[in-house]
Amino acid sequence: MKKAMTMFVTMLVLACAPALAHAVGVNLGWNECIGGGGATNRNSACASNIGINVLYGSVVPPAGLTKVKSFEIVVDLLTQNPGFTPWWAVRGPGLCRSALQVGGDMNGQPGCADYLRGLAGAGTTTFTKGFAGMNDRARIVTIFVMDSSQVIPMDPAREYYAVRYTVLNVNTVGSSACTGCDEPACLVLNSVNLVQSDGLPSVVVSGAASSDVATWQGGLPGNCALVPVRNRTWGSIKSLYR
């Protein structure tokens, strides 16, 4: 009875989220998911070490997904500095700042449906600076996995939160500052791999549902979407954590 009530409450919560027709694809927005009014650009005065900048990745799934247990999110970052902007070196040993927090719990954000419902914990994230030999870029790969008993069908008419990235303002000013906060940058949500349980096929969703590009300080000249996509299989992504 308790399990049935839990599932009923889960379905009720998702039913209360916005249910508008969307094109299949992915979105990336500041402050909120794009479907909930998120912004495609964020400007900062870069005048304080206090404060945060929150970026939401989201996905509009195709029809027919009934047992998605895992989200695999790939975001690429392009900086103005050809050797990589130090301020954006936000995660990993030896980098300028420890300033990237990652979450799958949307804490009641109302803009999009919350499929993971906090059931996948903090997930696992890698930050690879200079990926594929391109020194001005970094790749962020995040994987959330929840127990197969918690899966529910995905509604193709909904936009679902996929990930929340919080970029802290630490080391922006002062003697330990990392330079480049005031420089433009582009972030592109390249893909969200929706992995199903029970041997059902996975589906890689890519391309903008509305906007898969989020810019910082106005973005770079030209087309940020030209940040190259290098699709990976689920197996190759998992190998990063072995």
Handedness of CA 9, 14, 17, 20 (dihedral sign): negative
Compute the Cα dihedral for 98, 50, 102, 78 and give only its sign.
negative
Phi, psi of 78 (to 5 degrees): -120, 125
Q: What angle do CA 219, 134, 176 make, to 5 degrees?
A: 65
Q: Which amino acid is at 108?
A: G
Sheet holding 52-60, edge to edge: 25-30, 52-60, 160-168, 100-103
Second-level CATH architecture of 2-241: Sandwich (2.60)
SS3 35: helix
Kindly give the confidence (pLDDT) of every residue in the chain, 242 residues in length, as a single tens digit, with 9 standing for 90 and above. Answer: 434 433 333 444 444 444 444 699 999 999 999 999 999 999 999 999 999 999 999 999 999 999 999 999 999 999 999 999 999 999 998 899 999 999 998 878 899 999 999 999 889 999 999 988 999 999 999 999 999 999 999 999 999 999 999 999 999 999 999 999 999 999 999 999 999 999 999 999 999 999 999 999 999 877 675 555 444 443 444 443 33
Q: What is the DSSP letter of 43?
A: -
Strand duo 41-42 + 213-216: pairing: parallel
33: nearest Cα among 179, 216, 210: 210
What pLDDT sits at residue 71?
A: 98
What is the pLDDT at residue 77?
Answer: 96
- What single-letter amino acid sits at 237? I
Whole-angstrom Cα distance, residue 88 to residue 27? Answer: 21
- d(Cα 77, Cα 56) in Å, to the nearest integer? 14
Q: Which of 32, 48, 41 is nearest to 181 (CA)?
A: 48
- Count CB atoms within 10 A of the CB of residue 168: 17
Q: Where are the domains of the chain?
A: 2-241
Backbone φ and ψ for 86, nearest 5 degrees, come out as -55, -35
